[in-house]
Structure 1
């Protein structure tokens, strides 16, 4: 824990029915993310900003949402706290599209208060996404948490055991074998190091489209990783994670009662919602409309033992 002095505070006004926990939970990799924590109704999120490391605290207070920043980057985070909280997300144009399918229409009504956050930062989400490539969630979290603790630093603010993500340049300079004890094979380690070397250029992208083009130009990063990143960094409601193991099945099951589907089938079913295809996937997941499971689970491996 570093300095606890508050640098800025701001009161936000969420829309009626706003789902605070469901919205900000998208910014954390589970309940034990070293960089994000939802405790006693308050969401704590630490990251690196253009002004330096900072921690943002979001807490509901009656009809308001209070944002407090800590550390050198605290004021930067408070300035865009409404985007981080998903309050710049406007689903109005989605509602006529949702009405065209009964399942989507029901979910749009049930989860009307769910918003899509937009952090404005690429590398923190890219760090997670690279580790999530083609492995189980347990393997991905283990690698992500170990990397944050190896290369990151204690977060500004009053929360103990909260970490600020790594400086990209330090990750880029590390040899691939440093990540091996974290369960990361050379392919993902090299991808992360290449992405970290491009982090400054990526952070200057004007929008999700430019960021996607630059991301997929990096060897080892494809449409899935790019979509996972821009959906969070820019709040892109149309970002679809093509290449995901589960999402095509979920979409096929929920929208067409087909227990299995490939990427082509998923995109066909999502086409009527173009502009908000990623939002549909978020709603399907929020509604728990997952496809039936067949066969054994993917085993958890440890490359550190190989």
Structure 2
């Protein structure tokens, strides 16, 4: 979009928050870059330059606006919508792959050479993978500087910087303030409407040899509207005992992360999502935030989705009633795939019970000082050791589960944020016991495909028939062609016609 100068100028002049994250506006006279909705008086169009990423603006010599904090805007929706190599790379960079494995590691996951990845990202985003990762490190550093009392040296390494000097230089270059000045400036001005961070950091929990948890209070931005009912209702209604819970108005769950583990509590608010994140290793901060944002589908563009779906006269009243429905996704694609198999042809309650037993038997035990979480969901490697005969489920489903776990543990099946969605679909479909329902559920919630469509789902078919839509999967697929590329969102609106707990915000 950043190449459409006229459209970008209109968005900036109208301070249109819908375009935050789509592009960044740099002002040549001040050498500052902003989000489109920046509250300051818009500059003259002749002085505006537009960039597709914060990293590109930074590389061009612009620093972040202290007023609108463009680095804290919602992410571009296209990185979750698209399935090409650039979008996959952006999802992997957000998950911290470059910081952990370097550009060669990123390229290997994408199936390209480092030079090819560099060229593709530069062509589309104006910045290579190192610059994009650097911009993310700067954002992580700002979060830690403003929301914790950690020493700057600890923040530097937690944010992924190789040295204190690089940390200091980057913070000064991006924010035009030293780390100490950034902290001093944030403390007296911490009001709920001033950005995506809030609260203070601290340590808590941990007994015995368990690593201590460092807790940060953050705010996760999103594009309006957002309907929290089905989003949090689904997560709470399907919560695995010991791994997830609804407590005090928040969805809480454990997180398995590259450097350690964490616990997150997410509470819906009208303007943002409150995020209380406790980590055993702060190097996991950026990746944990990215996973939470993916799970809640916070980078979606609800106006674009709803506008297309509302063209259908059958869906239009549902959208008018509760606009902005998101697709409840997951923080761990492997975990969701296992749970999808466990949930085949059983009730929500039964699926929760089976998954809870699996977590208690094979998941790592953790301490939760603030609630009732007890385990991390077991990894594919841990589940590869299970005895199928101990599973209280039909023999055919045991075979399906063990086949999935073996494919995940061996690396034959890749379901992470950088996965090729169509390749993953094909590999899933080739496994024994995987029909269209299971494949599409995993595509929708684990792979994040916005066009995944569970035409064989009983709830979808009932809703369709109740609305006068075709009731058979084949006919419904034909009717749903007009909803592309947003069929996963159409599923949420169809499910919402039923009075099921997944469609209601839980009450404490």
Could you say which TM-score interval applies, normalised by the shorter chain? 0.7 to 0.9
CA distance in 1, matches of 2:431, 2:223: 39
Asked if 1:279 is matched to 2:489, the reply is yes
**CA shift at 1:129, angstroms?**
0.7
**Larger RCO, structure (CA 8 Å, separation 6 or more):** 1
Aligned match for 1:215, one of 428, 431, 445: 428
* 2:376 aligned partner: 164
User: What's the TM-score, normalizing by structure 2?
Assistant: 0.50
| TM-score (ref. length: structure 1) | 0.80
Higher mean Cα deviation, 224-233 or 203-212? 203-212
1:87 deviates by: 0.8
* Alignment root-mean-square deviation, CA: 2.8
Which range moves more in the overlay, 222-231 or 53-62? 53-62
Q: State which drifts further: 218-227 or 13-22.
A: 13-22
How big is the shift at 1:188?
A: 1.2
Q: Aligned residue for 2:335?
A: 124
Shift of 1:26: 3.1
* 2:437 aligned partner: 224
Judged with a 3 Å threshold, the aligned counterparts in structure 2 of structure 1 residues 16 and 278 are, in CA distance, closer, same or farther, namely closer
1:126-184, Cα deviation, whole Å (9 max, x unpaired): 121101112333433332221121111334543224431112112122221021xxx21
User: Tell me, what secondary structure is at the counterpart of 1:160?
Assistant: coil
**Cα distance between partner residues in 2 of 1:137 and 1:38:** 16
* Structure 1 unaligned blocks of 5 or more: 291-306
For the residues of structure 1 that align with 2:215 and 2:442, how far apart are their CA atoms? Answer: 28
Question: Cα offset for 1:32?
Answer: 6.1
2:457 pairs with 1:247? no
Change in 2 beyond 3 A, CA 1:72/1:198? farther
CA separation of 1:278 and 1:219: change in aligned 2, threshold 3 A: same
Contact 1:53 1:72 (C-alpha < 8 Å) held by counterparts: yes
**How many aligned residue pairs are there?**
284
Q: What is the Cα deviation at residue 282 of structure 1?
A: 1.0
Name the larger-Rg structure. 2
Q: Secondary structure at the match of 2:432?
A: coil
Structure 1 residues 32-41 or 71-80, which shifts more?
Answer: 71-80
| Higher mean C-alpha displacement, 86-95 vs 19-28 | 19-28
Distance 1:243 1:102 in 2: 22
Change (3 A) 1:209 1:51: farther
Q: Which residue matches 2:476?
A: 266
1:46 aligned counterpart, secondary structure = strand
1:299 maps to what in 2?
none
